[in-house]
Amino acid sequence: MSLRRQAYEWRNIVPVGSNVSNTGHPILTYDAAGAVQATVRQIDPDRPIDIMIGGVGNNLEEPAELRANQFIVIDSVACWPISSAINIRIGTTRYFQDPSGIPNAGMTGAAMPYLPSDATQQFIGHYDTLIPPIYVLPGQAWGIEYTATETLNAGSPVPTLDSQIATAYVRYLLIDGADMLVAMKLLDSNIPVSAETIQWYKRNLIRHSLMADVASEESLSEVLQDMERRLI
């Protein structure tokens, strides 16, 4: 498939034992009393953690890096708790910066919360979509950095509620193959890249091709009509 909607969830939780799924996510087990057999790792403030290869929680085996035929559109990020922040890194550049141009911790969990199942806070006017979205071009390395603004999970306790687990989330559109060429063409034309604009561009290509074929046939018919006919 050339267009794929994908998402990645990071959770700061370490199960007892080394059981993980085939995607690297921890497999949680429970004791006879129903308590989860896992701990959450203490996170110190102002120390960015790469949620994909940072060595904390569930991770990937290798950093996120696009192939030469891939293009992604990041349109949503979120984190929890509200005393944390999330930033997007492309190469060595951090997306969220101070007005002076100095990178900061990023968007806070209060502004872009990834709400747990037991959340009691009410968030009004928060963001759930990046406008405009962020483009990662073919061949670029990228990542998501999670930063706590205060010490989280001091002493690495056993969590009893979902809200006690630090989490982060990123959602993006993966474009590859021939659609990647269309995405680059849209970008060169200053047209926003999305699944809708890619389909629009391909429909226009087909329409123009059909119109060109019709015009060629009409021109051929006119030439044949004007030619002198000879009977043998």
Instruction: Name which of 27-31, 116-120, 148-152 the model is least confident about.
Output: 27-31
SS3 38: strand
Cα–Cα distances in angstroms (integers) from residue 219 to residues 211, 213, 227, in the given order: 12, 10, 13
- On the question of pLDDT at 96 being above 70, the answer is yes
Other residues' Cβ atoms within 10 Å of the Cβ of residue 97: 13
pLDDT at position 156 = 78
Confidence of residue 196 (pLDDT cuts 50, 70, 90): very high
Instruction: Give the model confidence (pLDDT) of 131-148 as tens digits.
Output: 899 999 999 999 999 999
Distance CA 117, CA 185 (A): 42
Instruction: Give the model confidence (pLDDT) of 83-93 as tens digits.
Output: 999 999 999 99
- Contacts of residue 149, Cβ cutoff 8 Å, sequence gap at least 6: 45, 46, 83, 84, 85, 105, 108
Extended strands (E) in 61-131 = 70-80, 84-90, 93-94, 107-108
Q: Where are the domains of the chain?
A: 3-175, 194-226
Distance CA 35, CA 117 (A): 17
**Average per-residue pLDDT in the chain?**
83
- On the question of pLDDT at 183 being above 90, the answer is yes
pTM of the model: 0.80
Cα–Cα distances in angstroms (integers) from residue 86 to residues 58, 80, 112, in the given order: 17, 9, 9
Other residues' Cβ atoms within 10 Å of the Cβ of residue 23: 8
- Length of the chain measured in residues: 232
Confidence of residue 49 (pLDDT cuts 50, 70, 90): very high
- Region 170-193: what's the mean pLDDT? 94
Confidence of residue 31 (pLDDT cuts 50, 70, 90): low
- Region 202-219: what's the mean pLDDT? 72
pLDDT at position 119 = 78
Contact 16, 28 (CB under 8 A): no
Q: For the CA atoms of the chain, what is the radius of gyration? A: 25
